[in-house]
Amino acid sequence: MAGARGSLSQINNPLPKKELFDIPSGIVYLDGNSLGPPLRQSSRQAVEVINDEWGKDLIQAWNSANWMSMPRIVGDQIAPIIGAQPGSVAMGDTLSIKAYQALAATLELRPDRRVILSDSGNFPTDLYIAQGLIDTLDRGHKLLTPSPEDVMDMINDDVAVVYLTHVDYRTGRLHDMGAITERAHRHGAVTIWDLAHSAGAVQLAVEETRTEFAVGCTYKYLNGGPGAPAFIYIRQDIVNSIRPALSGWLGHRDPFAMAPQYDPARSTERFRIGTPPVVQFKLLHFALKIWDQISMSDIREASTRLCEQFIQEVEGRCPSLELVSPRNALNRGSQVSFESNDAYSIIQALTDQGVIGDFREPNILRFGIAPLYLDENDIVRAAQTMESVMNSECWREDRYQVKKQVT
């Protein structure tokens, strides 16, 4: 009977998919925006690759187990999640590297312009990548980082590229991707959207916005696991005019011709660089199958409902914590952040009591709300635990004051 009930609930209430995930009992996991949890089947997938593919077929597994095609297969799984057509997403490397490839390409597309327009809320690696590229090129490019609210007004005819993260990693504030992209294009600039906190969290229509590039990682809301490959979307009408700055052999038109001269693939595949991490790809491929069965609008609806519940519960129980995420769900991604001078210690104490969120400099408590494996009961339990930690002031204990290497 359990099976019948399971299938019925799948029809009436497609979320959550909690039973598919392997979250330790007693934990409320509000950190899937940093590292999604494993699926119950993830370890079996990894063991199969090692024992049945690598172990039995050795090097032939590149063909027999489709290893070499995994980046394309997985790219086609990512495409519908971000609102893009099959064949427009290349996979591999890390988000930092994909951001570098995209940024270098945009500067080539606008050789007469010198301004890279980002914002002060952008994730450090995005800014560091720009700074490094500017130094390498040494052609007088400038990186501007106004406050997120001022970006729109700073788009003018000097801007080569508008280079933004869609959902702010600290506050969860959501940029208007359509409006900003449109204004950028009106001024002759190109755009790169970092979707690290968007892919699998909010509805996206990347292709419809006409953005030239979008990049993202797959270990956050897409549950690919630590070290999972990143993605890069390239608008198809420009892809074949771009010569990737990181021109590796697997982006070559015919890698196994072993030609001495680089000649890029006539497709999105030119953004591949080197050998794909196969075990990671197989884990990600498996984790992405979940998305075949759910719509992003269902996810967004559930995320909005749970975020509002969380805000209400926490504000009611913990008046000293100040909401720093936008109150209006339309301006917020799938996370809720609060401010407190004691944020680091509070997060440590909460973690000890089974409620896992994370701390972000300088004073932010950040909670990712991933509706695939969270429900109303988890939200209430998290808020109750926060209330007890705040009221007991147990976060003051010495052991919660020492910063760990990864926060």
Binding site for ligand PLP (CB under 6 A): 94-96, 123, 125-126, 165, 169, 194, 196-197, 217, 230
Q: What span, in angstroms and rounded, lies between the C-alpha atoms of 93 and 276?
A: 8
What single-letter amino acid sits at 53? E
- Cross-strand bridge partners of residue 29: 356
- Minimum CB separation of residue 176 from ligand PLP in Å reads 17
- Minimum CB separation of residue 395 from ligand PLP in Å reads 26
Q: How far, CA to CA in Å, does 335 sit from each of 74, 179, 200, 288, 299?
A: 26, 22, 12, 21, 13
How many other CB atoms are found less than 10 A from the CB of residue 209?
Answer: 22
**Nearest to ligand PLP of 197, 282 (CB atom):** 197
Instruction: Give the residue numbers annotated as catalytic, written as ranges.
Output: 123, 194, 219-220, 366
**Nearest to ligand PLP of 133, 230 (CB atom):** 230
**Nearest to ligand PLP of 16, 224 (CB atom):** 224
Backbone φ/ψ region at 192: left (φ over 0), alpha (ψ -120 to 50), beta: beta
Q: What span, in angstroms and rounded, lies between the C-alpha atoms of 144 and 130?
A: 10
Contact 369, 335 (CB under 8 A): yes
**Nearest to ligand PLP of 217, 382 (CB atom):** 217
- Minimum CB separation of residue 245 from ligand PLP in Å reads 16
* SS3 call for 234: strand
- Minimum CB separation of residue 294 from ligand PLP in Å reads 23
Structure tokens at 268: 């999105």
Q: Which residue in 332, 348, 331 sits closest to 406, CA to CA? A: 348
- Minimum CB separation of residue 97 from ligand PLP in Å reads 7
**Nearest to ligand PLP of 16, 225 (CB atom):** 225
Structure tokens at 31: 């950190």
Place of tokens 């979707």: 195
**Nearest to ligand PLP of 96, 247 (CB atom):** 96
- Minimum CB separation of residue 99 from ligand PLP in Å reads 7
Backbone φ/ψ region at 9: left (φ over 0), alpha (ψ -120 to 50), beta: alpha
Q: How far apart are the first and last CA of the chain?
A: 44
102-129 as b/e: b if 16+ CB within 10 A: bbbbbbebeeebebbbbbebbbebbbeb
* SS3 call for 270: helix
Contact 349, 373 (CB under 8 A): no
